[in-house]
């Protein structure tokens, strides 16, 4: 999405040197951009303008994806409801079919928990995960947390 005008030669290089599957720009793009013999400031500002356009495009695609996901969820909910109606009205084991669809039954098994407290510890899954928020809070409060330290970083901001 073009929010800002950028140099057409820069746009052409970025478009040609971009992997269509991953979106990654390959190393030869750097060489071609350097061959334009622009000042660092001019190149950086053009790349930043292009980056803002890419982020805007990504936001638009994400918004559309959210709408499509909501639409898909509605269709799935409607299909689930219809299949529930069929299951309540077609006898278990009965098969129906025509040129479009086939209705049938399949056996399956499922675990039904009747008393969770009676189940032994060997049937539970345990996971261990670091709580980075808690570690950060303690380190910022001056506590020592063995195996962890605060790292101060600088992040590029393009607006």
- What's the per-residue H, E or C state across the chain? CCCCCCCHHHHHHHHHCECCCCCCECHHHHHHHHHCCCCHHHHHHHHHHHHHHHHHHHHHHHHHHHHHHHHHHHHHHHHHHHHHHHHHHCCCCCCEECCCCEECCCCCCCCCCCCHHHCCHHHCCCCCCCCHHHHHHHHHCCCCCCCCCCCCCCCCCCC
* Res. 1 pLDDT band, cuts 50 70 90: low
Residue 25: predicted pLDDT: 87
Neighbours of 58 (CB within 10 A): 12
Q: Which of 100, 109, 14 is nearest to 53 (CA)?
A: 14
The 10s digit of each residue's pLDDT in 90-102 is 999 999 999 999 9
Give the distance, in angstroms, between the CA of residue 10 and the centroid of all CA atoms in the same chain.
Answer: 29
The 10s digit of each residue's pLDDT in 115-142 is 999 999 999 999 999 999 999 999 999 9
pLDDT surpasses 80 at 3:
no
The 10s digit of each residue's pLDDT in 40-81 is 999 999 999 999 999 999 999 999 999 999 999 999 999 999
Residue 110: predicted pLDDT: 95
């Amino acid at each position: 999405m073009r929010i800002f005008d950028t140099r057409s030669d820069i746009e052409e290089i970025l478009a040609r040197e971009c992997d269509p599957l991953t979106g990654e720009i390959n190393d030869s793009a750097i060489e071609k951009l350097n061959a334009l013999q622009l000042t660092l400031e001019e190149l950086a500002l053009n790349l930043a303008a292009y980056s803002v356009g890419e982020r805007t495009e990504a936001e638009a695609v994400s918004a559309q994806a959210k709408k499509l996901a909501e639409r898909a969820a509605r269709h799935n909910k409607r299909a689930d409801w219809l299949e529930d109606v069929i299951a309540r009205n077609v006898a278990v084991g009965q098969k129906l079919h025509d040129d479009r669809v086939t209705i049938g039954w399949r056996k399956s098994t499922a675990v039904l928990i009747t008393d969770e407290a009676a189940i032994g510890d060997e049937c539970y899954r345990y996971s261990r995960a670091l709580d980075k928020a808690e570690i950060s809070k303690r380190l910022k409060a001056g506590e020592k947390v063995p195996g962890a330290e605060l790292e101060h970083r600088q992040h590029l901001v393009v607006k």
